[in-house]
Amino acid sequence: MIEIRNLSKWYGQTRVLADCSTHVAKGEVVVVCGPSGSGKSTLIKCVNGLEPFARGSITVDGVSVGDPGTDLPRLRARVGMVFQHFELFPHMSVEQNLALAQIKVLGRSKDEAAARGVALLDRVGLREHARKFPGQLSGGQQQRVAIARALAMDPVCLLFDEPTSALDPEMIGEVLDVMVELARTGMTMMCVSHEMGFARKVAKRVVFMDHGEIVEDAPAAQFFEAPASERARTFLARILHH
Amino acid sequence: MNYHWNWGIFLEQVKGGDETYLDWLLTGLGWTLAVSLTAWVIALTLGICIGALRSMPSRLPVMLGNAWVELFRNIPLLVQMFLWFFVMPEFLPRDWSLWVKQDMPAKEFLTAALCLGLFTSARVAEQVRAGVGSLPRGQRDAALALGLTLPQTYRHVILPQALRIVIPPLTSEFMNVFKNSSVAFAIGVLELTFQARQMQEDSEQGIETFLAVTLLYFICAFAANRGMVLIEARTRVPGLIARTG
């Protein structure tokens, strides 16, 4: 589903991604972790073309992302993305947030879009908040709406960019529950996350990055029990014991 | 002060005509409103477009937008009026030039409205660009990630938020339009300042005249301000009051 080959990217002289290769098969969950500044968020933003890259290739569902001829809006409509800071549109109600792209991008009617929105709000447990504005919701609720907004496009895969790191600790669980439930339904997911409990529970593989490189790309159990590199061991020791 | 006050002057007839001085001032007020409102429509439309261009990710639209703003911002308004009125027609193709000079209807009014509109559009563009710049970058990413095109992203996500943020500075631009419209008298628009000067010379009651005109300008600018405050309240987003202040 997602195939990343020899990806490199520079900001001026600084190399932020160094020859990264990995993949996510259909129905798989892959968790990307690593210290801050390691290039995880940049990597995941390359997947739907929000960040351009200098070298290498990415294909998503057979479509080449870096190809200048690619219709990026059309590709992005099929790849859902959930952001660290939710990025709901604050001037629109929850139901409008869910309906906007369904109507403008997929060409659904208002009624269709609204019905799909309500069904998804129900799924993330927020049906009664449809008329509220993002500013009236808690962080956890906003992130669940953001997931519903991504799902409303019927994506072939979902990208998560640190979906829980801007949340208060007591709200992390409600968002992870939704993500676990999604994983169980067979959704293809690539998640930048430090939630190792989540990774253990649903991830097929864990990709560990440091200084723009993919240091390890291993089955989840193996990564947690016997990380191959010293850097991964140090990282795990640090985040598991805090 | 040895001045003969006469507040009844406004109801007296002008010399050699059957209108009153009040009629003159009200006609002037009408033209002031016409020039200002037309200019404001031009300024808002162009200002929003140019401001959006200046916040685009690629370089060419930014350069075009910047050139626009610098052009209209760095020349005095009065000089711009003269440029549009006396100089521009000379550079048109011959037939157009003749038409503009001889046959164009409401030439003074249209020139003044266009000039003031373009001048103000540069200032509106500056505010709009600042408003767009104050939004978190994630908003653009989120809209694009949903498959919206860049124009759709601006139309539905970026501009509705940016414009709400810049309503207070836009309010002063709107008030400025009314005040700046007085410059139009220099190219012969029969607006409030023009009429006031005419009344001053005709009636020799300059103090009453200019006090009345001051009050009329004040009312216009103040009404513009109240109108914008009303719009600000109407467009306020629930749960977002703290952010827009």
Q: What does the block give as tokens for A106?
A: 């997929």
Rounded Cα gap, residues A190 and B116, in angstroms: 54
Q: Which domains does chain B have, with CATH numbers?
A: 9-244 (1.10.3720.10)
Residue A126, phi then psi, degrees to nearest 5: -130, 25
> Among all residues of chain A, which has the CA nearest to that of B136?
A87
Cβ B144–A133 below 8 Å, yes or no? no
| CATH top class, domain A2-37+47-89+156-240 | alpha beta
pLDDT by position in tens, chain B (length 245): 788 999 999 999 988 888 999 999 999 999 999 999 999 999 999 999 999 999 988 899 999 999 999 999 999 999 999 999 999 999 999 999 999 888 888 999 999 999 999 999 999 999 999 999 999 999 999 999 999 999 999 999 999 999 999 999 999 999 999 999 999 999 999 999 999 999 999 999 999 999 999 999 999 999 999 999 999 999 998 877 544 43
Q: How far is B23 from chain A (nearest CA, A)?
A: 46
pLDDT at position A240: 77
Cβ B146–A149 below 8 Å, yes or no? yes
> Among all residues of chain A, which has the CA nearest to that of B140?
A87
Position B52, amino acid:
A
Please list the residues that pair with A14 across neighbouring strands.
A11
SS (H, E, C) B156-217: HHHHHHHHHHCHHHHHHHHHHHHHHHHHHHHHCCCCHHHHHHHHHHHHCCHHHHHHHHHHHH
Cβ B237–A136 below 8 Å, yes or no? no
Comparing CB atoms, the residue among A78, A84, A91 nearest residue B161 is: A91
Q: Which residues of A touch B141 (CB under 8 A)?
A: 45, 50, 81, 83, 87
Q: Which residues of A touch B160 (CB under 8 A)?
A: 91
| Contact status of B149 with chain A (Cβ, < 8 Å) | yes
> Among all residues of chain A, which has the CA nearest to that of B139?
A87
Say if residue A80's pLDDT is above 90. Answer: yes
Contacts of A171 (CB under 8 A, 6+ apart): A138, A139, A140, A143
Rounded Cα gap, residues B128 and B125, in angstroms: 5
Say if residue A20's pLDDT is above 50. Answer: yes
pLDDT at position B2: 83
Q: Which of B76, B89, B25 has its CA nearest to residue B183?
A: B76
Comparing CB atoms, the residue among A79, A104, A150 nearest residue B148 is: A104
Count of C-beta atoms within a 10 Å radius of residue B234 = 7
What is the C-alpha end-to-end distance of chain B, expressed in Å?
48
| Contact status of B146 with chain A (Cβ, < 8 Å) | yes
Cβ B136–A105 below 8 Å, yes or no? no
User: H/E element holding B44?
Assistant: helix B21-53
Count of C-beta atoms within a 10 Å radius of residue B219 = 12
- Residue-wise pLDDT for B137-168, tens only, equals 999 999 999 999 999 999 999 999 999 999 99
| Contact status of B77 with chain A (Cβ, < 8 Å) | no
> Among all residues of chain A, which has the CA nearest to that of B142?
A87
> Among all residues of chain B, which has the CA nearest to that of A138?
B239
Residue A205, phi then psi, degrees to nearest 5: -135, 160
Comparing CB atoms, the residue among A77, A135, A150 nearest residue B238 is: A135
Contacts of A152 (CB under 8 A, 6+ apart): A98, A99, A101, A102, A113, A116, A117, A120
| Contact status of B245 with chain A (Cβ, < 8 Å) | no
Give the three-state DSSP class for B54.
coil
Comparing CB atoms, the residue among B138, B157, B239 nearest residue A134 is: B239
Give the count of Cβ contacts less than 8 A between chain A and B.
86
Q: How far is B222 from chain A (nearest CA, A)?
A: 28
